[in-house]
Amino acid sequence: MVESWKPKIEKGPAPLYERIADAIQHDIHAERLAPGTRLPAHRDLAHALSIGTGTVTKAYGEAERRGLLSSQVGRGSFVTAAKHEPGQTAAGPVDLAYNFPPVGLTSRYLAEAMGRLWRRQDFAATSRYTAPEGLDSARAAALRWIRERHALDVASTAHLIQTNGGQHGLSLVLQALCRSGDTVLCEAATFHGLKLVARAGNLKLEGIALDSEGLVPEALEKAAASTGSKVLYLVPTLQNPTACTMTAGRRREIAAIARRHQLFIIEDDAYRAIAGAGSPAALADLAPERTFYIASVSKSISPGLRLAFVLAPDLFWRERILNNIVAAGYAPPAQNALIFAQWVEDGIVDTLLGQVLAEMQWRTAMALRILGKAASAPGADQTLHLWLPLGSLQSERAYGRALRSGIQVTPPDAPLVGQGIHGLRVCLGSVADRSVLQRALEAVLRSLGEELPGSSAIV
């Protein structure tokens, strides 16, 4: 046993037992705790940290759940995790490619909510088909969420539709708006899910130039006139992949162009709650008669919920979308929607979001310190992803070097639709351990080598 071992517990929004488990994981990775080491008894560590024995018990249990410890009755808790190379995990490369908030923050609340669901009056809905638009309680919770966290003044639930995540909502809207062979306008670097949906629906994508304020109005005007497209998809807040936020003035220009060219707007506001207060007004506020608004819960709270809500501009388009839902699967599932409704009613969703924002603000600040000028400034103090602008060849080289170092970032071609923008997207939420994330970001910086951004590559 390491008699003198005492975890260094980081400050943060997570419960104390989770931070103790994080400290155990950190010390294993740093080789301060070798495989086979017996940790102090629950009572001894609790005394050393001046905390309750129950907290240590929960911390050791969480560490065991992560595969770090093995508890043996009568003998104690032993380190089981083997050492990995810097940047590596037992399962392979460190994943900085997938974009979602830290999932460890939601585990405890998820278990508690599932234990309370059976007491709800609408629990019986989980055993039968629900309405195609989703559960009334979930849509009422979404109304409150969108008003408070997206600053969008939605009058009622009449036009709100529950979907299985933002990408599902996007697919439903495009099915309602487009026919095979139609052209959809989008940012020159865009959400990869749009490319997948377009391919499945035989839709053409036309990339529009971006600058630090968002879509370039002149480029949009030209593309709308030349293609005859009637649909514009965009991510105006913490844009994916560049993390820029479209300015208020630019949004007004885009709304005016959409009206002139009779464009429908699909506003994917997946990161609005992550950006926090102070983001410019949504396009759905500026041009409500032509905007389909997608509000994802998965991106801001828990990816496993697979939950989002679509706000249709009127009842006609609402019915078109509902027809597609019925044709594909009749209705969305109820269980995850009930969890969200429970969280909103209990106020847990505000606690969770506060923890996510605090954690991502810390991670964003750390990432910017490490990456320095290699990263574009994000459109908020906290973001799930950062953009490293590079030339085309440079981004491919840097991607390969990072992968060989055990770090998986988003493939350079994954978000690209148009010309004139290249780089790497680095996601900050998918790695549970802060120390692992720090080492991974340092490895990403080393992978850039001499490929630091030049003036021609910066967004």
In tens, the pLDDT along 6-17 reads: 898 988 777 898
CATH 1.10.10.10 residue ranges of the chain are 16-83
Best-predicted range by mean pLDDT (66-70, 100-104, 443-447)? 443-447
Q: How far is CA 205 from CA 170, 184, 243, 258, 262, in A?
A: 14, 5, 21, 17, 18
CATH 3.40.640.10 residue ranges of the chain are 122-346
Parallel, antiparallel, or unpaired for β 183-187 and 204-208? parallel
DSSP string covering 50-89: TS-HHHHHHHHHHHHHTTSEEEETTTEEEE-PPP--TTEE
Topology of 92-107+348-448 in CATH? Aspartate Aminotransferase, domain 1 (3.90.1150)
Burial zone of 355 (CB within 10 Å; 0-12 exposed, 13-18 middle, 19+ buried): buried
In tens, the pLDDT along 182-233 reads: 999 999 999 999 999 999 999 999 999 999 999 999 999 999 999 999 999 9
| pTM (two decimals) | 0.80
In tens, the pLDDT along 252-264 reads: 999 999 999 999 9
pLDDT of 133 over the 60 cut: yes
pLDDT at position 11 is 83
Phi-psi region of 256 (alpha: psi -120 to 50; beta: other; left: phi over 0): alpha
pLDDT at position 87 is 41
- Average pLDDT of the segment spanning 426-450: 91
- CATH number of this structure's domain 16-83: 1.10.10.10
CA distance 349 to 336: 13
- CATH number of this structure's domain 122-346: 3.40.640.10
SS3 267: strand
Cβ-based neighbour number of residue 162 at 10 Å: 29
**Dihedral Cα 396, 401, 405, 407, nearest 10 deg:** -20
SS3 293: strand
CA distance 348 to 353: 9
CATH 3.90.1150.10 residue ranges of the chain are 92-107+348-448
SS3 161: strand
**Dihedral Cα 276, 278, 280, 286, nearest 10 deg:** 90
SS3 391: coil
Beta bridge partners of 408: 95
Contacts of 373 (CB under 8 A, 6+ apart): 452, 453
Bond before 241 cis per omega within 30 degrees: yes
